[in-house]
Structure 1
Amino acid sequence: MTASLPCTAIVTGGTGGLGAAVTEHLLSCGWRLVVPWCVEAELDRVPTHADLELIKADLAVDSDVESVVELAAKDEDRPLRGVVNLVGGFASGRRVHDTPIEVLDEQLSINLRIAYRVIQAGLPHLIRRGGGSVVCIGSAASVRPFPGAATYIASKAAVAALVEALAVEYSGDDIRVNGLLPTMIDTPANRKAMPDADHTSWARPADLAEVIAFLLSDASRAVTGASIPVAVHSPAIGR
């Protein structure tokens, strides 16, 4: 699935701090992209491009999810072959006994339910067109927890479990499902929230975009059910 074989992918969160880098990179690889958005100010982050279709949508609303998938699947010459789930949220600061149950509900909704619902709506089209690739964003914290973020960590661990379950369930349909486990991602919002942190240790959006493009491509046809750590780029690697 490269520029020589034009296909379509949905990128949720494709106007966000990470998503804008993913959107730009996938467009450069020849993909037609359908990107749902809900914050108008974020639209300035993505380029104007003939292969980019933006659609206003609240992915917590089932009818909006269906509209996104219908738009992505309408071009028979460029079939829907990719679903990239970048929408997510973060909560921390309190231990479990001080955290209202509503915080867990919110984290499960934004990190798990939206990914589940978008994938669920896209699967029939992937099956009909002979397969494809699904990529989800998890978190390194799901395998290396830290105090004060149990609701976030639990929701991201659930995403990793969903990836493994889907990979097994749809292997016979030639649908690959993989997840990424980044450390803190170097986005403007994260820098603003943690101005005194060591940003050099954070994962770069451009690096994540390249890994996502690989997982969507035919070059990764042997990879499914994986939770892949994505660390900070080091120039020393590969010398």
Structure 2
Amino acid sequence: MLVTGGVGGLGEAVVEILRDQNWRVVAPVRAGAVGRLAKGAVGIEADLSVPADVRAAVALAAGEPDAPLRAVVNLVGGYAGGGLVHETAIEDFEAVIRANLRPTYLVTAAALPHLVDAGGGSVVCVSSRAAVAPFAGAAGYATAKAAVLAFANAVAVEYRKSGVRCNTVLPSVIDTPANRAGQPDADFSRWVAPADIAQVIAFLAGDGSKPTSGATVPVYGRA
């Protein structure tokens, strides 16, 4: 199992539940962040925008003969807001697309041959409700998350016959410390807890979701 974004607000919950389900979890993280991973996870420092770093992380995840790579969870991404479209510099628009789409593409592309060789497996991607219900001031973010969703659906179609499925979860606002700090006046009870999303991701990663590919799963909580 390879999990990106394993030290983020959602990533910590995902790593913990997969570890508790006895997955061997390999988590590529930024330099200096390995010590922040949940106990039991295997960390490797990597910049997931760099193809060589991605290949090294995937090789580590696929390197155990008794535990072939059977699942990939793509959590790396990030929110960036701004002004309306005509107020947004093309550099800012492209930067948020790159931050959300490039790691998902590189990791998935590098892992797919291993999943095929293992006889099949699962890829789980994280998009956003903004991909299907945009809001003002975040055209770049909505576009980026829509691109992640489209990419995941393409993977589902292309690799179905190889036994590799690909599904996507769409969170609303995730109840993390960073989001609470950024929106202190919000009603946090309406937000979705990382542990609840992690349960859905773990299901999609495991054999229980074997018949399911190309699904777009809303995980909105009450937001």
TM-score by length of 1: 0.90
The one of 18, 29, 35 equivalent to 2:21 is 29
For 1:47 and 1:224, locate their aligned partners in 2 and report how far apart those are by CA, in whole Å: 29
The one of 84, 95, 118 equivalent to 2:107 is 118
| 1:48 matched residue in structure 2 | 39
Unaligned ranges ≥5, structure 1? 1-8, 235-239
**AA of the residue aligned to 2:184:** P
* 1:1-239 equivalent positions in 2, closer than 5 A: 9-38=1-30, 40=32, 43-44=35-36, 46-49=37-40, 52-232=41-221
Unaligned ranges ≥5, structure 2? none
Deviation at 1:42, TM superposition (A): 7.5
For 2:88 and 2:34, locate their aligned partners in 1 and report how far apart those are by CA, in whole Å: 30
TM-score by length of 2: 0.96
For 2:33 and 2:101, locate their aligned partners in 1 and report how far apart those are by CA, in whole Å: 25
Deviation at 1:93, TM superposition (A): 2.8
- The C-alpha deviation readout for 1:48-87, integer Å capped at 9, x for no partner, is 22xx210011111111001000101110100100010000
For 1:26 and 1:127, locate their aligned partners in 2 and report how far apart those are by CA, in whole Å: 21
**AA of the residue aligned to 1:116:** Y
**AA of the residue aligned to 1:13:** G
Percent identity of paired positions between Structure 1 and Structure 2? 51
Deviation at 1:43, TM superposition (A): 3.6
Going from structure 1 to structure 2, the CA distance change for 1:190 and 1:233 (only over 3 Å counts) comes to same
- The C-alpha deviation readout for 1:25-58, integer Å capped at 9, x for no partner, is 10000100110111535743x3322xx2100111
**AA of the residue aligned to 2:43:** L
**AA of the residue aligned to 1:176:** R
Going from structure 1 to structure 2, the CA distance change for 1:43 and 1:188 (only over 3 Å counts) comes to farther
- The C-alpha deviation readout for 1:162-203, integer Å capped at 9, x for no partner, is 111110100000001000011011111111111111111111
- Provide the secondary structure at the position in 2 that maps to 1:178: strand
**Preserved CA contact (<8 Å) 2:31 2:46:** no
For 2:60 and 2:162, locate their aligned partners in 1 and report how far apart those are by CA, in whole Å: 22
**Preserved CA contact (<8 Å) 1:204 1:233:** no
For 1:17 and 1:43, locate their aligned partners in 2 and report how far apart those are by CA, in whole Å: 15
**Preserved CA contact (<8 Å) 2:79 2:141:** yes
For 2:78 and 2:89, locate their aligned partners in 1 and report how far apart those are by CA, in whole Å: 16
Root-mean-square deviation (CA, aligned residues, Å) is 1.4
For 1:233 and 1:41, locate their aligned partners in 2 and report how far apart those are by CA, in whole Å: 32
For 1:233 and 1:134, locate their aligned partners in 2 and report how far apart those are by CA, in whole Å: 26
For 1:74 and 1:233, locate their aligned partners in 2 and report how far apart those are by CA, in whole Å: 41
**AA of the residue aligned to 1:206:** A
